[in-house]
Amino acid sequence: MNTQINSAHNSDQLTLVLGGTGKTGRRVADRLQRRGIPTRIASRSAEPSFDWDDSNTWDAALEGVKAAYLTYAPDLAIPGATDAIRRFVDKAVEQGVERLVLLSGRGEEEAQLCERIVQDSGIDWTVVRASWFNQNFSEGEFLGMVLDGAITLPAENVPEPFIDVNDIADVAVAALTEEGHAGEVYEVTGPRMLTFTEVAEEISRAAGRNIEFVQIPREAFADAIAESGAPEEIAWLLNYLFDTVLDGHNAYVCDGVKRALGREPADFSDYARRIAARGVWDVTASDDKEVAA
């Protein structure tokens, strides 16, 4: 039996979660901790501190680690991500890490380059290649739009199989802790495709108020992002995603969740009802809208 696979799910082995305060990372960390698995959450504010832009912080974060969940903020498509992933993977192997689970993105050439770096590492690896997150509408970039009643984006009538990040976390934890996932690329999507118009309709039904989708020109979106004062890399990423990724080439459903977990992924309507029930989209509720839902 493969000793590397065994070591990954021994309860006394330390697991590193990069981006441990992000959408998927904090859910992965929570699931690992609830299983009693020693977990190191890596972020700039953690102890030891971890910073993708400062390789001097990597050694301390990797000390004693046997399995690691890799996320790169804000996205693997960002210029420079490939070089950082290559250097980090080399460092991880050098430090004795035995298993890597990489969160990747669908339809992003740069992300696939990062996947190949992990696949060529010489240790156990799993790639979780995800579609757009449901939670972007409840704890992310588009929440403010939902609260304002209009999702204003430069998206055409192109469907996307949005996925619940809880499903991503479940797949990642399985890959980190169980046998049988090494060497797998799990392309994870929701069970059906939705356009942004249909997303707005789903949220409207769940929230009990009208949310519209308003398509705006890409130039107007880029100008609005620039005027908002968003960090340069976030502005670049959002423009990239609507220019390059949401063009129809990802308009199909995949079975990654079913292959990894033996069950179907959550539907967007289930997510919407859950979020609405927690008051996240209630404009009369508290200003503290972010929830780990």
pLDDT tens-digit readout, 67-97: 999 999 888 988 899 999 999 999 999 999 9
Q: Going by DSSP bridges, is the β-strand pair 124-130/99-105 parallel, antiparallel, or unpaired?
A: parallel
pLDDT in the model for residue 293: 61
Q: For residues 22 and 183, what is the distance between their CA atoms, to the nearest angstrom?
A: 25
Q: And the tokens for 6?
A: 């065994």
Q: Which long-range contacts (CB under 8 A, 24 or more apart) does 229-238 make?
A: 233/74, 233/78, 234/74, 236/78, 236/79, 237/74, 237/75, 237/77, 237/78, 238/141
Q: And the tokens for 155?
A: 């998206």
Residue at 270: amino acid letter: D
pLDDT at 3 over 70: no
| Averaged pLDDT for residues 234-246 | 78
Percent of the chain with pLDDT strictly greater than 90: 71
Q: For residues 91 and 123, what is the distance between their CA atoms, to the nearest angstrom?
A: 13
- What superfamily in CATH does domain 3-131+163-188 come from? NAD(P)-binding Rossmann-like Domain (3.40.50.720)
| Averaged pLDDT for residues 40-48 | 91
At 168, is the pLDDT very low, low, confident or very high (cuts 50, 70, 90)?
Answer: very high
pLDDT in the model for residue 289: 47
pLDDT in the model for residue 66: 98
What is the residue whose two structure tokens read 């990747």? 104
Instruction: Please return the burial class of 12, using the count of CB atoms within 10 Å of its CB with bins 0-12, 13-18 and 19+.
Output: exposed
| Averaged pLDDT for residues 125-134 | 96
pLDDT at 108 over 90: no
At 1, is the pLDDT very low, low, confident or very high (cuts 50, 70, 90)?
Answer: very low
Across the chain, what does the average pLDDT equal? 90
> Within the chain, what is the greatest distance between any pair of CA atoms?
57
pLDDT in the model for residue 9: 52
| Averaged pLDDT for residues 188-204 | 97
Q: And the tokens for 236?
A: 């670049």
| pLDDT tens string 152-165 | 999 888 899 999 99
> Bigger pLDDT: 122 or 239?
122
Percent of the chain with pLDDT strictly greater than 70: 93
